[in-house]
Structure formats: structure tokens, C-alpha cells
Structure 1
């Protein structure tokens, strides 16, 4: 027991020391990561990691995961964990969905207690991300007390707002009910702080106060360089629904914007041709047995839309809006 407490105490000291060493180059690396410039980010993180920066080493592992160096990422997280980074420690906790088993990372359940000790040390210093992490991976005593629980959620949400902690917005807003006025007011505040996903949430909210402004809010979100909004608009116009009648030209336009912002890593596929069918619904073939196609969007129109979409997208700086609390590996 004494050895365990001593280990957790030393972990907390390591965490505080490692976060104190975080510097501008590491912060610049996170900006580059969110721009999708992963190789530039990797270089910045690697340089700081070699200088003993645990936080940069954690982000190096995150970037390796994104660029396909997934076996190496596990070793990097292990190195960052030993240097005292609690986020890296949590990456090495075996749990559903994370890569511990299928990639053979050096995982151990013991890292969870050490990660919590590290986050608690940071939370005592007012770190909102650490406060959020604690409530995500454990259940503090106050969550069992109904009225006090809401007070604490409100308090943590305010702290998260002040520090622009992305994960806290999603988690704590849901505690107050879905699309209540209380919830909607916070969404507005988050949008006012430049959070693209919440600008989009307002656009899709159907709240009476924004009637007629839906597309304007979605455009604001897209203007931040947030790729997910371009993908959403592409899907909306491709499939169609209540407020978005099917419009393949608009869908194609937003698919190009998404491709540019996402640097070609993903796509929103829009079919620009369809097979010709006869009166019985059977596909018509030519003399060589190939199905006859007709254009849904002509080649000439596609070129014009692509040129227009690229010109717009290239005026934007991509922003994935990710931090420790919202990266794929932490959300698992």
C-alpha cells in the first residue's frame, strides 16, 4: 500500500514537472496537427521529445498514430508515460476499442491509477482538461449527489469554456438536457468563442430564434476551416432531408471543399452519372455489354464547380479543433 501511494505521489510530481516544460514549439506542433500538416507537426514534436518534453512526446505518439506509424506510437506513448504524461498513461490502459491487444502495445491496467493521479495533480492547479478527463474515466463521489452534481457540472463547464477545453463542451452540456434553453445558451457561447462544431450545431438545431439563419450559421462554421461541416453539407445535399432538398451540384461543390480541407485523406463521394434504365427498370447496355450512362452533372459543370470550390477552400486554414480530450484514441 505504501509503495503504491509513493508511486502515485512520484507520478504526480512527474506530471507537474512535465507540464511545466511544455513550450511554444509544442503548442505550434498542436496547431500544425489541427491544420492537418502532420509531418510538420511530427518534426516539431520529435525535436521537443528529444529535449525531454513529455507532453510533446505524447503528441508525437498521437501524430504517429495519424500518419500510420501505429506500432511505433505505442512505444512513444510508453516513453511519454514513463516521463510523466498522464494522457500517454491512459493510452496504455487496456479497454474496449483501444489498440493495446491487436497492436501489441506495452499496456498495463496499472497505468489508469497513475493517469488519474497525474490528472488530479493538474486539476488541483485548475487544469480544465484534467478535470474533464477525471470525470470521463472515473466517477467522482459528487456525481452521486443530484443537486450538487449539477452545480459541479456547471462549474466544470465554465472552467472548460474559459480554457477552451473542447471535450468539456460536449460532455457537460449534455448533462443539462438536449436542446434545452440552458443548453442552447451554452452552445451560443461556445460558438462565440470560435468553436466550429457548435456553430454547426446552431445551424442544425431548429431553434426558433435562428429560423431563416440556418445556412448562415453553417457557413460561419465552414469559414473556420472545419472539414466536418463541409462533409455534413455534402451529405445533406446528396441525400436530402427536410431543410436540404437534393442538389447534386451543391453536394459536389462541398465534396471538393471537404477534399481540400481534409488534404485528400477522406472523401464525400458524389456520383455524377447514373445508369440508363428501360421502362421495366432494367439497365440498358450498349453493343459491348457495358451499361449506358447519363450525366447527372456534366463534365464542363464539374470543372467549373471544382474550380470555384477549390478557390474558396484555399482561402481557409484547415482546423480539426482537436485536443487531448477529443482525439480518437482518448474518445475510445
Structure 2
């Protein structure tokens, strides 16, 4: 396992470099530039050019990318064009709330999708199976922005049960309970789409193993149905389940941008939108780099979990 992890880390370096190059090209191909977003339209062309020179935007693209890479190798992500604060500080302030939101929604979806998928497979072609499958299709097809606005209207405006946004009460003392209270709606909305998709994956994976010979043998030996399903069958169905849930993590990071806007959650989703609107190149480059690192780390962690879930998996 250790040599395999080392090889994966070495392979990740050129992948990250390639991602930064593609991101740099895409960001610079976008119309407009940071100076146009921060200067009055009536400003003279001379002042605009002076501002571009100060920010290094007049240099050729390859030179700009080279300077960014040199700063990155020194541990410096640069400074925001809009706020002039260190980009590392901006991301450090925002990444915690985003990770809290995404992993909470992932845990919620795991807690619902796996038992529901198992039960749907065990009750194959029954009314319960049809109901769970139908609900999964509804959850998958429900637009997150529509669901988010809907739950705010019902639970915040009409029933006044849950806060409509933010991460804490304004002017309050905060605390863990206050944060969890504000987390319920955004995490639940983000989890609905995952649950809808994953119930079907878990169901399909369980159906593949429920009628295998070794399970018939276990039943013939007198092993209870609960142990047969949740220990023997689930253990052998785990690999595809682990895969589909691992794939969901980068999608969660993307989906959190919309959810954070709706619920005013102070994470990197809001920072991403602000950076896009202000053409804040250094912040966008750093955010894409962080997202790429999270995805690569998730893939590596998934491979390690494979070996834990199934001892037959070997990495040579």
C-alpha cells in the first residue's frame, strides 16, 4: 500500500500542473478583466493601463502563469485583485464552512440511501420497492435551487421553525448548536439529490449479490436474514457503493456554490461567485487548485478504503 500511495502522489503532481494550465487558459479567455470591474467607466485609458501594469496584466499570458507558479512553489497563493487580501487567508476563512456543509450532507445521504437501498433490494418488486424507487427519481429530478427556495418558504417564512440563511444568529454568541441549527436546511437540500441517485445504486449493487450461492449456503447453515443481508451481502456490494459515493464529493463542491448563495452560507461557494463576478484571477486559480487537490485526495482515499472493505483488493 505504501509504494502505491507514493506512486499516486507522484502522478498527482503533473496532473495538478495540467489542471492549473487549463484553468489559467479558461479564466483568461473569459470576457472582461479585473481592472474594468474595479474602475469607473469614465476613467482615462492611461489610468487603466497603469492599473493593469501594477497588477501584472500587461505581461504575456505565459509570463503571468510563470509568476503565479513561482509564487505557488514558495507557498504563496497571491493577493486578491478585489480585496487585496492574501488569497490563502480568504480560502482558509471559507473552506471550513464549505467542508462542514458538504460532509454533513454526505453523511445524511449515507445514513438514508444505504438502508433505503438495501431495504428496496430485499423487498424487490414489492410496493415498498416501487415507492422508494419513485421517491429516488423525484429526489434526483428536483432542482436544488427550487427545493432550496421551497424549504425556506415553508420552514422559515410560514412555520418559522428554522433559520433561512447564514451560519449563526446575527449579533449572537454563536456556538456549535447555533451552527448546527443553521446547517439543517442547506445540508438537507444538498443531500436530497444525492439520496435520490444513490438509493438506486445501492439497490442495484445489492441485487447483484443477494442471490449468490454463498448467501444460500449461509441461510442453509441457519444464519439469520439480518446477518446475511447486512454482513455478508453488504460487504461484497460495498465496492461499487464506495465508488459512487466518492464520485459525489467533487459534485458536492460544485453544488455547494448554488446552495451557499441561496442560504447565504459563508463558504468558498460564495467566494467563488464573488471572484467570478469581479474577475479575481488569483482567487479563482487558487480555488480551482484547492478543488483539484480535494478531488485527487478523495480518489486516493477511496482506493485505500477499497482495501479495507475487501481484503482481496491488492495494490502491487
**What TM-score bracket applies, with the shorter chain setting the length?**
under 0.3
Q: Which structure's residues are more often helix, by fraction?
A: 2
TM-score (structure 2 length as normaliser): 0.24
Tell me: higher relative CO, structure 1 or 2? Use CA pairs within 8 A at least 6 residues apart. 2
